Amino acid sequence: MADEIAVTIDGKPLRARRGMTVYEVARENNLYIPTLCWDPTLKPFGACRMCLVQIEGQRGFPASCTTPAADGMVIRTNTPEVDQLHHDNLELLVAEHPHGCLHCHRRKHCGPFDICLRDVGVTDRCVVCPKDKQCELQRTCEDVGLHLRRPLKEDRALEAAVWEVRPVSLYRQLEAERQDPLFGRDYNLCIVCGRCVRACDEQRGISCISLVHRDRGTIIGTAFNLPLNQSGCEFCGACIDACPTGAIMEFSAMSQGKAERSATTICPHCPVGCQLRLDIRGQEEAAPVPGLMQGRDRGHPARGEDQIIRSSPTLTGPANMGEACHRGKFGLGYVSSPQRLTRPLLRKDGQLVESTWFEALDYLALELAKHRGEAFGAVGSARATNEANYLLQKFARTIMASNNVDHPGRQSYAALMEGLDEALGLPGSTNPTQELQRAAMALVLGADVMQVQPVVGVQLKRAAMLNGAKLVVVSPVQSELSRYAALWLRNRPGTEGVVAAGLLRAILDEGLAGDAAALAQRLEGVPELLASLAAFDAASVERTSGVSRDSLVQAARLYAQSPASAIVYCVGSAHRSQAPSDLQALTDLALVTGQLGRPSTGVYALADLTNLQGAYDMGMAPDRLPGGRAVANPAGRFAVEQVWGHHLPTRPGLGLPGMLAAGTQGRLKALYVLGEDLVEEAPDPGAVTAALSKLSLLIVQDSTLTSTAKLAHVVLPAATFAESDGTFTNGERRVQRLNQVVAPRGQSRPDWWIICQLAQELEGRGFAFRHASQVLQEIAMTTPPYGGISWERLEQQGLQWPCPSPDHPGTPILHQGQVARGKGKLAPIALLTPPTPDSRFPFVLTTAARALEQFQLPAGTKWFDARPLPEWVELHPQDAARLGLASDDPVRVVSPTGQVTARAKVSDGISPGVVGLTFHQERSAARLLGGRGATAVRLEKATAAG
């Protein structure tokens, strides 16, 4: 191969590829060269001078991390001169870092209260640093063999300070930065390797910290040294994971002691499905739960107090490859929250009292037997595993003989998937997340990606930063991503579909996709589409959407003519109702231009709940069985009946709204709710409470006592994501393994286990599972796209469905060669009516971009201020002037169906006539929207701050 070169390192002949640096060659061949500023995810920087080597025929000692390897190079990494240089450079680097322990041979044996024979100040010792034993600087000192001949600094002030026992901040005498949420920074420990700054910039595209020159030298800082949450930080934690020292540390890692082991699993917070490495305190490997199934001994005492103290994304995670966001990094504290339920609760004399599994299951067996058939309903959850959802719907359909199964996020997601299925033949987003960073062009619409699926947002930024991809962002408000956009189409809220139609029309008018006859050869529905497009000429598109003809044509050209264009549609609260028709129009766009079936093309539908795709695939729906089979279709039913050995009810059941209505009317008597707080999430909590209160039996299975659980007759304590095995299917159809990494709190148990116990108590067949992997085995039998998926095969990378057989490698890119259904089917553009303001409601409402200081974490997260975040409403200076409003003024946002109090934020990042709301409180937001997508609102001055 022409690209292969030969080099010799320390006498070893090695082969390498052209373009690799000397360091990379050494690393690939397991030859050690010390480094500190090098980072696998970042570009070489060449700042620390730790990696110097000797190269025959070259003068001096070049840095191996920045020197490209060349054919025939002879490199030495371990001559006495090189060793001495490594040592001396390290000495310089640690000069300002507390280093008393770094060259002490006893370091590993030292405890926090030991007497130090070398007089290292108490606060200067490695043993008090949260990074101790996981520290790259320590390791480097060991590897290089740091031995200091004398103290590096003879500073009187320093000595004096040692005696006063002050915080570690002695060497640079900087004050530690502790005012930020979630993590702290102590730049006295910093060696100025710049990795955090580069991670923030290169890896995440943010750059809210930089190398700053201060009078005492260069250090890391924000603008004007403001706290991070006022500097644009997204709290992704990339800087923490990059830091080779203890300078940046999670508060959780500072306070909860040291990690004793680590394990990997999947983030439970969104459909990206980031793989995370969790550092855990607590020695014991978690025992697999099924041992508890023996006999009647279902109660089990609480085991060791395992704590998750740190979380970091893994480089090998197939969906995230080293990225995560604030939720995956910091939002896992709820696992060890004191609010957790640890025992089953039973209502006795109107009160929920602690009970035992034995008693609760016995009681339920008796009660449930009274409500078989359509009087029973089950509510699953897109936050729960595939196994939990699969078993819950199987339980409802077989043992309880009812098709009343649903979950709260289903309807809108199913509509999206059915649209994709109809047009292309498969109900799923078409391409892998990671490919987005190699797209030449991406059309991004809907809610702010950086909020809904931050890691996808990072991929898009990288595409623009690293590969010069052209991003076309269609959004009424300016967002973090529009900073990277080649073209920002500032549309009116709710008009994404109109813009898509306008783009289609422009592409056809410009002749970018061939004529009607050529299209008809590849696609169905061409005449219907063309007819429906008649209404979308540039002038009327501009009138409705506010996007000018020129930018429309420019965007259309970019999309149609780039070598690989992807469509990313992000579904936020305000987009739910319009999303299906928007996505249809966008799918048409991909079909017409052929931007499909190749790497970095396709259609990405980004939703918000972790396992929406899995819940859909598992048949957690009143009208669909596993594998998307229609309940009403006898052939589909038969296939499932064969595996289950059970007759199934033939009539589609009630959806969630139907079940609640039936509950109010007394037709539905028993409801089993798994992992969803129906009351809190409803636009109208009163009505839901009323409906649930009328039930004869309400079973709630959750990890905390939610508002819904408080109404229940029986509350079953569920294990959290970290405490159970199972699988999630992420937004790119990747089935990934969730690993039990800590033992379940108290007597809480994995969802699948609880359902199995209950089923067996009711003498149900087909629930004798002893491990989640066995449930997955059955899923593979009933759900054809999962046919080849097994627990063992998922170990590392997961598998993307369709994966029909055990030897099938999975399908990262759908519709390669041709679309799955043969010929793509175009959907005519539905007539969309975006909200029109009138004199009573003169503004159109949209979702505001997240302000610099705002970021959201799941409630109950440790170290996170649990008070609800204040809402902000963004409006244009002209509108603000007319209403006499200034930034920070309290405002009421009123729609025909609800109202929210917020603070005004005057900004010209938003168009006149449009207001953007932060939508932090899902419930009030839902009420405001009243089931519509975008809505018209009015603003009123409020008297008191809300």
* Chain residues that interact with ligand SF4, rule: CB under 6 A: 190-196, 199-200, 204, 206, 208-209, 220, 228, 233-239, 242-245, 247-248, 267, 269-270, 272-274, 320, 324-325, 327-328, 453-455
Structure tokens at 872: 């902000």
Q: What is the CA radius of gyration of the chain?
A: 30
Q: Which does 48 bind (CB under 5 to 8 A by kind): ligand SF4, other proteins, ligand FES, none?
A: ligand FES
Could you give the count of Cα atoms lying within 13 Å of 672 in the half-sphere of its Cβ?
32
In the list 63, 129, 274, 845, the residue contacting ligand FES (rule: CB under 6 A) is 63
Q: How many residues bind ligand FES (CB under 6 A)?
A: 12
Size of the chain in residues: 946
Q: Is residue 65 at the binding interface for ligand FES, with CB under 6 A as the rule?
A: yes
Q: Which does 908 bind (CB under 5 to 8 A by kind): ligand FES, other proteins, ligand SF4, none?
A: other proteins
Q: Give the Cα separation of 339 and 334 in Å (integer).
A: 8
| Subset of 165-204 contacting other proteins (CB under 8 A) | 197, 201
Q: Give the Cα separation of 792 and 776 in Å (integer).
A: 11
Q: Are strands 470-474 and 487-489 parallel, antiparallel or unpaired?
A: parallel
Q: Give the Cα separation of 736 and 733 in Å (integer).
A: 9
Q: Is residue 223 at the binding interface for other proteins, with CB under 8 A as the rule?
A: yes
In the list 852, 859, 869, 942, the residue contacting other proteins (rule: CB under 8 A) is 852
In the list 7, 47, 135, 391, the residue contacting ligand FES (rule: CB under 6 A) is 47
Helices 386-394 and 772-782 cross at an angle (nearest 10°) of 70
Q: Is residue 711 at the binding interface for ligand FES, with CB under 6 A as the rule?
A: no
Structure tokens at 869: 């975040």
Q: Give the Cα separation of 749 and 342 in Å (integer).
A: 9
In the list 5, 7, 24, 49, the residue contacting ligand FES (rule: CB under 6 A) is 49
Q: Which residues contact 497 (CB under 8 A, 6 or more apart)?
A: 578, 581, 582, 585, 829, 830, 832
Q: 163 vs 224, which CB is nearer to other proteins?
A: 224
Nearest to 130 by CA among 243, 238, 258: 258
Q: Which does 223 bind (CB under 5 to 8 A by kind): ligand FES, ligand SF4, other proteins, none?
A: other proteins
Q: What is the DSSP letter of 871?
A: P
Q: Is residue 513 at the binding interface for ligand FES, with CB under 6 A as the rule?
A: no
Q: State the burial class of residue 397 (Cβ atoms within 10 Å of its Cβ: 0-12, 13-18, 19+).
A: buried
Backbone phi, psi, residue 597, to 5°: 75, 10
Q: 61 vs 569, which CB is nearer to ligand FES?
A: 61
Q: Which does 254 bind (CB under 5 to 8 A by kind): other proteins, ligand SF4, ligand FES, none?
A: none
Nearest to 571 by CA among 718, 432, 419: 419
x/- mask, other proteins, residues 472-491, rule CB under 8 A, reads ------x----x--------
**CB of residue 237 to ligand FES, shortest distance in Å:** 22
**CB of residue 59 to ligand FES, shortest distance in Å:** 18
Q: Which does 793 bind (CB under 5 to 8 A by kind): ligand SF4, other proteins, ligand FES, none?
A: none
Tally Cβ neighbours within 10 Å of residue 504: 26
Q: Which does 214 bind (CB under 5 to 8 A by kind): other proteins, ligand FES, ligand SF4, none?
A: other proteins
Q: Is residue 192 at the binding interface for ligand FES, with CB under 6 A as the rule?
A: no
| Subset of 7-46 contacting ligand FES (CB under 6 A) | 35-38, 46
Q: Which does 874 bind (CB under 5 to 8 A by kind): ligand SF4, ligand FES, other proteins, none?
A: other proteins
Q: Which does 267 bind (CB under 5 to 8 A by kind): ligand FES, ligand SF4, other proteins, none?
A: ligand SF4
**CB of residue 577 to ligand FES, shortest distance in Å:** 53
**SS3 string of 82-115?**
HHHHHHHHHHHHHCCCCCCCCCCCCHHHCCCCCC
Q: Could you tell me which stretch among 53-61, 178-186, 226-234, 724-732 binds other proteins (CB under 8 A)?
A: 226-234
436 close to 456: Cβ distance less than 8 angstroms: yes
In the list 210, 664, 689, 707, the residue contacting other proteins (rule: CB under 8 A) is 210
Q: Which does 907 bind (CB under 5 to 8 A by kind): other proteins, ligand SF4, ligand FES, none?
A: other proteins
Q: 140 vs 593, which CB is nearer to ligand SF4?
A: 140
Q: 40 vs 884, which CB is nearer to ligand FES?
A: 40
| Subset of 669-728 contacting other proteins (CB under 8 A) | none
Give me the residue label for tokens 């959004």: 475
Q: 458 vs 472, which CB is nearer to ligand SF4?
A: 458
**CB of residue 60 to ligand SF4, shortest distance in Å:** 25
Q: Is residue 934 at the binding interface for ligand FES, with CB under 6 A as the rule?
A: no
Backbone phi, psi, residue 915, to 5°: -125, 145
Helix and strand totals (H; E) in the chain: 28, 34
**CB of residue 35 to ligand FES, shortest distance in Å:** 4
Tally Cβ neighbours within 10 Å of residue 240: 23
- Which run of H or of E encompasses 754? helix 751-761
280 close to 234: Cβ distance less than 8 angstroms: no
Q: Give the Cα separation of 70 and 64 in Å (integer).
A: 12
Q: 328 vs 476, which CB is nearer to ligand SF4?
A: 328
Q: Could you tell me which stretch among 511-519, 572-580, 687-695, 846-854 binds other proteins (CB under 8 A)?
A: 846-854
467 close to 441: Cβ distance less than 8 angstroms: no
Q: State the burial class of residue 759 (Cβ atoms within 10 Å of its Cβ: 0-12, 13-18, 19+).
A: buried
Q: Give the Cα separation of 457 and 758 in Å (integer).
A: 42
**CB of residue 227 to other proteins, shortest distance in Å:** 10
Nearest to 371 by CA among 396, 389, 354, 408: 396
Q: Which does 49 bind (CB under 5 to 8 A by kind): other proteins, ligand FES, ligand SF4, none?
A: ligand FES
| Interface with ligand FES (CB under 6 A) | 35-38, 46-51, 63, 65
